[in-house]
Amino acid sequence: MEETLRPARPLTRRSWLKACVTGLAAVSLPALAKPQAARQLSFRHLHTGETLSVNYFQHGRYDPRALKAVNHLLRDFRTDEVFPIAPALLDQLFAVHRLIGSDAPFEIISAYRSPATNAMLHRASSGVASGSLHMQGKAIDIRLADTRTRHVRDVALKLGAGGVGYYASSDFVHLDIGRVRRW
């Protein structure tokens, strides 16, 4: 019996990117590989002192009551405005926490920002984007008490799930679910 070899398909940019994304997801997101597995997050808001530990995803779906509690905790603490936090951002936090192996809750510096709050912060600092993803519930500034922020940054960068900003002098990491970029 004679074997016939087929010529290899040429590697296109699209097929290469698809292979990279598939491989990265398989390697980087083992915690999310089981869609039925519960996903839990714990938070401590540094400005309000509030804490929350919640299973935000269980039985194959996001829990609306848990998401409501997360939305409240991650509200604009300056105005008390509540806004829906994107579940994909919670999944990103879950994956980072799991990959690090931390036992500490996420310490929240900033999550949702109202347009008024964001405009005020933008006027005060060139480091605040006028169109920040914080205003869409798609960004969060965090740290973990048991992990160097540099390591949180490195893990988030390897995950490749969105933007990662590292603020060493302020000791926090910005994570968002926008396009992949770093600063």
Check pLDDT > 60 for residue 43: yes
Phi-psi group of 34: left, alpha or beta (phi > 0 → left; psi -120 to 50 → alpha; rest → beta): beta
Mean pLDDT, rounded, of the chain? 87
Banded pLDDT at 34 (limits 50, 70, 90) = low
pLDDT digits (tens, 9 = 90+) for 76-104: 999 999 999 999 999 999 999 999 999 99
In CATH, which of 3.30.2000.10, 3.30.70.100, 1.10.132.10, 3.30.1380.10 is domain 38-182?
3.30.1380.10
* Cross-strand pairs, 82: none
User: Mean pLDDT highest for which of 3-17, 124-138, 143-157?
Assistant: 143-157
pTM over 0.85: no
Distance CA(129)–CA(45), nearest Å, equals 22
Radius of gyration of the chain (CA): 19
